[in-house]
Amino acid sequence: MATYGINDIESWERFYRANFINSLTGFKSVNLIGSVNGAGQPNLGIFSSIVHIGSNPPLIGYINRPVNAAPHTMANIEATGVYTINHINTSFVQKAHQTSAKYEFGISEFDEVGLTPEYRDGIIAPYVKESSIKYALSLQEVIPIKLNNTFLVIGKVISIQIDEAIVSEDGFLHLDKANSICSNGLDGYYTTELIERYQYAKPGIKPQKLN
Amino acid sequence: MATYGINDIESWERFYRANFINSLTGFKSVNLIGSVNGAGQPNLGIFSSIVHIGSNPPLIGYINRPVNAAPHTMANIEATGVYTINHINTSFVQKAHQTSAKYEFGISEFDEVGLTPEYRDGIIAPYVKESSIKYALSLQEVIPIKLNNTFLVIGKVISIQIDEAIVSEDGFLHLDKANSICSNGLDGYYTTELIERYQYAKPGIKPQKLN
């Protein structure tokens, strides 16, 4: 085991540190966020900072970088109040990664990378047609994180599009069977394989596997 | 594709909804947080809501449930200002899951589940000895999320313990080689396999694989 202290971390070259700290947090949910600006132009961006806030009400957050580094998605969400989150599948990883390029405001990443915007059920923000699990959110709150000028953007899930075959009897979703991927660091993408599900844990009882 | 609207989601049975919404956010980093109370008694809890806030300074957050549902970890962190985050490896998944049982305040989950507390480099909170990637944080801010009485707890990374063999030349960490796992929903644990790393994306250039 090597030990790195705060002085080491602060001395690292900028990209080395970004790679290291982004990996340190572990595997991440990686998704495409679809939005639309006030003129109706669609936008698509890749985000790996999705976090579950609560199930009742169904609240999901993501971290938006400082406005000058990542301006379009949050501006659209604040302008329209609605956005979509779309799982990335193994079939379009490279296209999803390409949405991270810095396109100008008003340019549709859908067109640039070759993914298909899909409008359903009265949701004004575009879904990604190619995605097997996707949902729309209504903006609830943008919480500024003053420590580094980022934002926690929280939405309430208002509509879900999903293949019923991957929904278990108890509500658990077989994300691996849906070909959803996860990410690591800034640029690594992974498939997964189930080890096990375990029953609700109670003191003094060894956890049993769920069938 | 099936569509579920907000009225469907609100009508679901409580555990079904918790399973569904917790899976919907995608694969998650799952970790053990080590802390110590004012009397020096260690505590260990499993958290799957770790989120990268920024790399410079190195800030990492997690969502803490309402105080009455998950009181010990956050109380300890607020009392001492220091805590550890420890990756869960394939070798101790079941023990890690068992820390989610509701033990009384002052009971050490280390003892109850059979993991080993480890104190290093002047950090007063315990690391998990069995974990191959772990780091200590200094509490920076607790941000209340009033929408559902949860909290975003943000710490600055002050020390990292890691096997050097998994650190790439560019700072990327090979989490799969370290046997770090990810989770899905409330109780599903997964291994991963690298699909690809891609170069920094630029408009108009097809992203190249990183060697």
A38 touches chain B (CB under 8 A): no
Among A20, A123, A150, the residue to mutate for chain B (most B Cβ within 10 A): A20
The whole-number pLDDT of residue A81 equals 98
Average pLDDT of the segment spanning B113-132? 97
Of B19, B102, B171, the CB nearest to A171: B19
By the 8 A CB rule, do A27 and A77 touch? Answer: no
A116 touches chain B (CB under 8 A): no
Q: How confident is the model at residue B93 (pLDDT cuts 50, 70, 90)?
A: very high
For chain B, the distance separating the N- and C-terminal CA atoms, rounded to the nearest angstrom, is 37
A189 touches chain B (CB under 8 A): yes
Residues whose CB is less than 8 angstroms from the CB of residue B78 and which lie 6 or more positions away in sequence, other chains included: B139, B142
CB contact under 8 A, B27 and A27: yes
Helix or strand (DSSP H, E) at B108: none
Q: How confident is the model at residue B211 (pLDDT cuts 50, 70, 90)?
A: low
CB contact under 8 A, B50 and A196: no
Q: What is the pTM assigned to this prediction? A: 0.97
Residue B39, min C-alpha distance to chain A (Å): 22
Structure tokens at B187: 């109780």
Cα B192 to Cα A186: distance, rounded to the nearest angstrom: 16
Residue A209, min C-alpha distance to chain B (Å): 9
The whole-number pLDDT of residue A71 equals 83
Residues whose CB is less than 8 angstroms from the CB of residue A203 and which lie 6 or more positions away in sequence, other chains included: B101, B102, B103, B112
Give the model confidence (pLDDT) of B76-92 as tens digits: 999 999 999 999 999 99
- Buried b vs exposed e over B34-63: b needs ≥16 C-beta within 10 Å? bbbeeeeebbbbbbbbbbbbbbebbbbbbb
Cβ burial, residue B81 (10 Å; 0-12/13-18/19+): middle
pLDDT by 10s per residue, chain A, length 211: 999 999 999 999 999 999 999 999 999 999 999 999 999 999 999 999 999 999 999 999 999 999 888 789 999 999 999 999 999 999 999 999 999 999 988 889 999 999 999 999 899 999 999 999 999 999 999 999 999 999 999 999 999 999 999 999 999 999 999 999 999 999 999 999 999 999 999 999 988 898 6
Among A173, A179, A183, A210, the residue to mutate for chain B (most B Cβ within 10 A): A173
Helix or strand (DSSP H, E) at B87: strand B82-87
Among B82, B154, B184, B209, the residue to mutate for chain A (most A Cβ within 10 A): B184
Cβ-Cβ contacts under 8 Å between A and B: the total is 362
CA-CA-CA-CA torsion sign (B145, A172, B180, A135): negative
Residues whose CB is less than 8 angstroms from the CB of residue A182 and which lie 6 or more positions away in sequence, other chains included: A27, A28, A29, A30, A189, A190, A192, B26, B27, B182, B192
Whole-complex ipTM: 0.97
A60 touches chain B (CB under 8 A): yes
CB contact under 8 A, B197 and A189: yes
Q: Give the three-state DSSP class for B19.
A: helix
Of A57, A154, A160, the CB nearest to B3: A160
Helix or strand (DSSP H, E) at B104: none
CB contact under 8 A, B156 and A6: yes
Cβ burial, residue B29 (10 Å; 0-12/13-18/19+): buried
